[in-house]
Amino acid sequence: MNCVDFSTLLASCIHDLKNEMGILISKMDEIAHAATDHNKTEMEQLLLQGKNVNDHLVQLLVLYRINESQYYPYFAETDIQVFLDETLAHFYPLFAQKHITLTVNCPKDLYWHLDSDLMRGAIGNIMHNLYAHARSNVTIAARTDNQALVIQIKDDGPGYPDEMLQPACHHQKKFSFKSSNTGLGLYFSEIAAQLHCNYDKKGHIALSNNGINGGGCVTVVLP
Amino acid sequence: MNIWNLKNKSVLVVDDYDKMRALMREILAPLAADKIMMARNGYEAIELLEKHTIDIVLCDYKLGNGKDGQQILEEARHRNLLNYNAVFIMITAENTSKMVMGAIDYLPDDYISKPFTPSQLQNRLEKVLNKKAKLDNIAAAINQKNYSSAIALCEQKLHESSYGQTEVLKTKGELLIKLGRLDDAEYFYQTLLKERNIPWARLALGQVYFKKSNYGDAAIQFESLMQECPDNIAAQDWLANTLEKSGECERCQAVLEKAIQKSPKSSTRQRKLAAIALQNGAFDIAEKAYESAISEGRNSCFGNMADISGLVKSMISQEKIEEAKKAIEHIKKNYKKTDEIRLHTALASSIIHRETNEPEQCKQNLDAAFKLMEMQSIELDSESALDVTQTCLAVNNLELAGKVVKQLVSNHFDNAKLLDQVKALYEKAGKLDEGEAIIERSKQEIISINNEGVKLAQEGKLEQSINFFAQAAKGMPNNATINFNAAYSMIRQMQTTGEISKYLPLSRQFLEQGHKIDPHNQKYFQLIKLAEELSSKAA
């Protein structure tokens, strides 16, 4: 098979999958609306999972386009409080099921220039990661510091293993098909942050164990 | 259930599919809009926009045969059928790229792609309306054309907080440019760009440089935007304008060709490419672009049937005489027989017969064209006027040539380059003396008309001067000076009597008309300031 290169083939495949997923999700949405109280929660769970898959497919496409130099971020001045509310909205019910409390700490009138599609995906990935690790508390805080927007997401889980705490640029080499999570999510988040630049300054993501009681802490810095 | 609503707002839904219109009505119903209107196509939409003040337009991009959504948006904004803070949301099929729609200067406030859920549409609407709400009193001032006070309101808002004010910043910059305060605008955008590399601010800064005839710095801005994002079509259009001004015609053509590859649906862009390619001798490219300009312009307010002559010229240059004749026949057969079509097909035919040395047929077409022009008092654009002059001279009809030249000179008596082109045509026909004489005579005539009106004003006979210029402007609607002088006499009259209701809107009309003809004329900016002072004094 040497008619097209494999990544183009994959990309168009992902594109179709994404569209089919879209149809699936809207059908599930209809069913969830009509569901009885009894299985409503289950349906909503399914729906969330479906959306999660869809998000990942979208992110894969974005990564493909970045790789092909076809993706150009679109920055718009964004109300960060509104942005976080929208991004986190569907995580509240998800986390509530595990009895994890989400606390958002964002000053009113905090605005920043960002590509909200990219960053919604980036923050979403981080939240999905936390879902597996956090015990009972997650805090999300946003502020400006040294002419950059800093979003810090802390949990009270066991913290990241040492190999994860290496400089972020190595994440991409650590894909592993052995665990349930290949690290793609975090890789996307890192790339999304890096695409945020202002003149010669570039965004980045840092991991540490400065979370709640030694839990994980993800710091997103956007210039 | 909804915290926000559409109370006191009127909504227009444009969709050719009845089920979709019904669905939209259902989605909008709980939002309690004041009025929801429905249009099935572009013509109904424009008619409703003409008759009503509409706050929100939800418009499907694809509307069957007539105008598409982008063409409705362009006409609505271009003809000022929408208020400054009105919202236009384009509804697109999932795989329609924004570029395909061909927008240059007119972008919708948001796009939403089908299929969407009711809450998605409601969320989008809420967001856009919130954004526009930041402009509330500023937009009101702009709608009343009180631009200086609108700037003051912008500054007040920015003083309160400079964050989350993108809309206000954009508006302030636009207004500075509108009032001709180019130095202020340059400083304003430069200050913004010092802190952050904002694409819209860089595009606007480039436009300011362009307006200041600083083409070098303008090109630097547009090129840097294209480097950051090759898909930035607006930057490409402006770079093309800049290159044209600095005489880099080959590069200008290349930039436009690239832009058209990505975004072919704008008749204005196609026309620009066609004209520059014709000038560069790239006749095949010109031909294709004129063809597209004609077909894309068919339902657009930017359509211009003079393109038919351009198409024919580019075909003749490739010795495709028969094809050129066929192209005209095709248009005659497939387009609605308006006077504009009749006129321009006749002119194009006259060009063909001029080039094939068939004077009789050439004359017939010229006569038909002149009859239409006189009956409908149609004025030719300068490119067409030059063509007609050449054709008249070719069939040795000095009288008709003189008529066209007189009109051309009366509109452009201070455009030396154009007058030289006219002279060259006469010279080529071996009639230089006649050419110089008619140009001089027409020039003197217009100058003396102008002086007479100015003299009346100076003598304090303002009403007489107003009548005189208004009458003259009727005969010469495309003469910038006459339009500006009509406005000036009205402004003087208002200053003297203190009574503004009679002349303020009318004087603004003359000002805008003059500005449209000659955007670089500084008189506009001086006079619009005086008009503003009068209106704010009265308020």
Domain annotation covers residue B139: no
Residue B126 — left, alpha, or beta (φ > 0 → left; ψ -120 to 50 → alpha)? alpha
pLDDT at B98: 62
In terms of Cα–Cα distance, which of B429, B440, B374, B385 is closest to B407?
B385
Domain annotation covers residue A1: no
What are the beta bridge partners of residue A77?
A113
Task: Please name the residue that has the structure tokens 């939240």.
Answer: A127
State the average pLDDT over residues A191-215: 93
B444 and B466 assigned to the same domain:
no
* Rounded distance between C-alpha atoms, residue B220 and residue B239, angstroms: 9
Question: Which of A71, A75, A196 to substitute to test the interface with B, most B CBs within 10 Å?
Answer: A75
A145 and A209 assigned to the same domain:
yes
pLDDT at A44: 77
Per the structure, the count of domains in chain A is 2
A84 and A39 assigned to the same domain:
no
- B163, A75: Cβ pair inside 8 Å? no
Q: How many CB atoms lie within 10 A of CB B322?
A: 10
Domain annotation covers residue B409: yes
CATH, residue B515: 1.25.40
Chosen domain end from B451, B475, B498: B451
Contacts of A148 (CB under 8 A, 6+ apart): A201, A203, A221, A222, A223
pLDDT at B1: 42
- Would you say B272 and B308 are in contact if contact means Cβ atoms under 8 Å apart? no
- Strand A101-105, strand A137-145: pairing: parallel
A43 and A143 assigned to the same domain:
no
B416 and B529 assigned to the same domain:
no
Chosen domain end from A27, A49, A67: A67
> Phi, psi at residue A140, to the nearest 5°?
-125, 120
pLDDT at B237: 95
Domain annotation covers residue B429: yes
What are the beta bridge partners of residue B409?
none
- A75, B198: Cβ pair inside 8 Å? yes
Tens of pLDDT along chain B (539 residues)?
Answer: 446 788 889 999 999 999 999 999 998 988 888 899 999 999 999 999 999 999 999 999 999 888 999 999 999 999 999 999 899 999 987 666 666 666 567 889 988 888 788 888 888 899 899 888 888 899 999 988 889 999 999 999 999 988 889 999 999 999 999 999 999 999 999 999 999 999 999 999 999 999 999 999 999 999 999 998 888 899 999 999 999 999 999 999 999 999 999 888 899 999 999 999 999 999 999 999 999 999 999 999 999 999 999 999 999 999 999 999 999 999 999 998 899 999 999 999 999 999 999 999 999 999 999 999 988 878 888 899 999 999 999 999 999 999 999 989 988 888 889 999 999 999 999 999 999 999 999 999 999 999 999 999 999 999 999 999 999 998 888 899 999 999 999 999 999 998 888 899 999 999 999 998 888 888 999 999 899 888 877 76
Distance (Å) from the alpha carbon of B118 to chain A's nearest alpha carbon: 12
Chosen domain end from B133, B158, B185: B133
Residue B146 — left, alpha, or beta (φ > 0 → left; ψ -120 to 50 → alpha)? beta
Cα angle B65-B68-B70, degrees, rounded to a multiple of 5: 165
CATH, residue B69: 3.40.50.2300
Contacts of B182 (CB under 8 A, 6+ apart): B176, B208, B211, B212
A39 and A107 assigned to the same domain:
no
Distance (Å) from the alpha carbon of A29 to chain B's nearest alpha carbon: 10
Distance (Å) from the alpha carbon of B243 to chain A's nearest alpha carbon: 25
Contacts of A19 in chain B (CB under 8 A): 94
What are the beta bridge partners of residue A142?
A151
* Rounded distance between C-alpha atoms, residue B329 and residue B179, angstroms: 46
* Rounded distance between C-alpha atoms, residue B412 and residue B382, angstroms: 9
3-state SS, B43-107, equals HHHHHHHHHCCCCEEEEECCCCCCCCHHHHHHHHHHCCCCCCCCEEEEEECCCCCHHHHCCCCCC
> Phi, psi at residue A78, to the nearest 5°?
-125, 140
Count H helices, E strands: chain B? 26, 5
A200 and A140 assigned to the same domain:
yes
Which structural domain, as residue segments, surrounds residue A48?
Answer: 6-67
Contacts of A68 (CB under 8 A, 6+ apart): none
Q: How many CB atoms lie within 10 A of CB A92?
A: 11
- The residue of chain A nearest to residue B228, with distances taken between CA atoms, is A72
Domain annotation covers residue A87: yes
A79 touching B, CB under 8 A?
A: yes
Distance (Å) from the alpha carbon of B54 to chain A's nearest alpha carbon: 27
Contacts of B399 (CB under 8 A, 6+ apart): none
Residue type, B60: D
Helices (H), B376-521: 382-394, 398-412, 416-428, 432-458, 462-475, 480-497, 504-517
CA distances from B215 to B223, B230, B280, B357 (A): 12, 20, 21, 43
CB contacts under 8 A, A 201-220 vs B, are none
Residue A92 — left, alpha, or beta (φ > 0 → left; ψ -120 to 50 → alpha)? alpha
- The residue of chain B nearest to residue A111, with distances taken between CA atoms, is B164
B54 and B104 assigned to the same domain:
yes
Domain annotation covers residue B245: no
Looking at every residue in chain A, the average pLDDT score rounds to 85
What are the beta bridge partners of residue A143?
A150
A136 and A202 assigned to the same domain:
yes
* Rounded distance between C-alpha atoms, residue B35 and residue B29, angstroms: 10
Domain annotation covers residue A187: yes
* Rounded distance between C-alpha atoms, residue B54 and residue B76, angstroms: 11
B198 touching A, CB under 8 A?
A: yes
Retrieve residue B400's tokens. 């008709």
pLDDT at A145: 93
B444 and B383 assigned to the same domain:
yes
- A113, B196: Cβ pair inside 8 Å? yes
CA distances from A156 to A16, A153, A163, A221 (A): 39, 11, 19, 21
* Rounded distance between C-alpha atoms, residue B211 and residue B198, angstroms: 20
* Rounded distance between C-alpha atoms, residue B86 and residue B109, angstroms: 9
B106 and B123 assigned to the same domain:
yes
A52 and A102 assigned to the same domain:
no
Domain annotation covers residue B128: yes
* Rounded distance between C-alpha atoms, residue A192 and residue A116, angstroms: 10
- B198, A72: Cβ pair inside 8 Å? no
ipTM over 0.90: no
- Long-range contacts of residues B213-221, Cβ cutoff 8 Å, at least 24 apart: B213/B245, B215/B242, B215/B245, B215/B246, B216/B246, B218/B242, B219/B243, B219/B246
B483 and B388 assigned to the same domain:
no
Helix (H, G, I), strand (E, B) or coil at A142: strand
- B164, A72: Cβ pair inside 8 Å? no
Domain annotation covers residue A47: yes
pLDDT at B99: 61
Distance (Å) from the alpha carbon of B162 to chain A's nearest alpha carbon: 10
Percent of chain A at pLDDT > 90 equals: 41
Contacts of A58 in chain B (CB under 8 A): none
Instruction: Closest CB to B229: pick one of A72, A79, A199.
Output: A72
Contacts of B497 (CB under 8 A, 6+ apart): none
* Rounded distance between C-alpha atoms, residue A123 and residue A107, angstroms: 18
* Rounded distance between C-alpha atoms, residue B416 and residue B409, angstroms: 10
Per the structure, the count of domains in chain B is 3
A94 and A201 assigned to the same domain:
yes
B26 touching A, CB under 8 A?
A: no
Distance (Å) from the alpha carbon of A139 to chain B's nearest alpha carbon: 25
B23 and B129 assigned to the same domain:
yes
- A72, B228: Cβ pair inside 8 Å? yes
- Would you say B60 and B45 are in contact if contact means Cβ atoms under 8 Å apart? no
- A109, B231: Cβ pair inside 8 Å? no
pLDDT at A26: 79
Domain annotation covers residue A20: yes
Helix (H, G, I), strand (E, B) or coil at A79: strand
pLDDT digits (tens, 9 = 90+) for B24-48: 999 898 888 889 999 999 999 999 9
Which structural domain, as residue segments, surrounds residue B430?
Answer: 379-451
Instruction: Closest CB to B163: pick one of A26, A75, A109.
Output: A109
- A198, B196: Cβ pair inside 8 Å? yes
A105 and A83 assigned to the same domain:
yes
Domain annotation covers residue B351: no
Chosen domain end from B133, B158, B191: B133
- The residue of chain B nearest to residue A79, with distances taken between CA atoms, is B164
Retrieve residue B258's tokens. 């690239």
Instruction: Closest CB to A109: pick one of B164, B166, B199.
Output: B164
Q: Sheet harboring A148-155: ordered strands across?
A: A101-105, A137-145, A148-155, A217-222, A204-208
- A72, B197: Cβ pair inside 8 Å? no
Domain annotation covers residue B76: yes
B392 and B443 assigned to the same domain:
yes
B440 touching A, CB under 8 A?
A: no
- B231, A72: Cβ pair inside 8 Å? yes
Chosen domain end from A14, A45, A67: A67
Contacts of A77 in chain B (CB under 8 A): 163-166
* Rounded distance between C-alpha atoms, residue B127 and residue B104, angstroms: 24
Residue type, B76: A
Residue type, B136: D
Instruction: Closest CB to B197: pick one of A109, A110, A198.
Output: A198
pLDDT digits (tens, 9 = 90+) for A116-167: 989 999 999 899 888 888 999 999 999 999 999 999 999 999 988 887 787 6
B194 touching A, CB under 8 A?
A: no
Question: Which of B119, B120, B163 to substitute to test the interface with A, most A CBs within 10 Å?
Answer: B163
pLDDT digits (tens, 9 = 90+) for A4-47: 788 888 888 888 888 888 888 878 877 877 777 777 778 877 88
CB contacts under 8 A, A 23-42 vs B, are 26, 29
- Would you say B115 and B136 are in contact if contact means Cβ atoms under 8 Å apart? no
Retrieve residue B514's tokens. 């003059």
- A111, B163: Cβ pair inside 8 Å? yes
Chosen domain end from A67, A88, A119: A67
pLDDT digits (tens, 9 = 90+) for A60-86: 888 888 888 788 888 999 999 999 998
A87 and A17 assigned to the same domain:
no
B476 and B447 assigned to the same domain:
no
A62 and A87 assigned to the same domain:
no
Whole-model pTM: value is 0.88
CATH, residue A128: 3.30.565.10
Give the count of Cβ contacts less than 8 A between chain A and B.
28
B404 and B508 assigned to the same domain:
no
What are the beta bridge partners of residue A218?
A153, A207
B137 touching A, CB under 8 A?
A: no
B405 and B467 assigned to the same domain:
no
* Rounded distance between C-alpha atoms, residue A148 and residue A221, angstroms: 6
Contacts of A26 in chain B (CB under 8 A): 115, 117
Domain annotation covers residue B214: no
Retrieve residue B525's tokens. 């900016």
A46 touching B, CB under 8 A?
A: no
Alpha-carbon dihedral angle through residues B388, B389, B392, B393, given to the nearest 10 degrees: -150
Domain annotation covers residue A99: yes
- B163, A26: Cβ pair inside 8 Å? no
- The residue of chain A nearest to residue B198, with distances taken between CA atoms, is A75
Instruction: Closest CB to B161: pick one of A75, A109, A113.
Output: A109
B433 and B504 assigned to the same domain:
no
Domain annotation covers residue A152: yes
Q: How many CB atoms lie within 10 A of CB B387?
A: 24
A199 and A130 assigned to the same domain:
yes
B133 touching A, CB under 8 A?
A: no
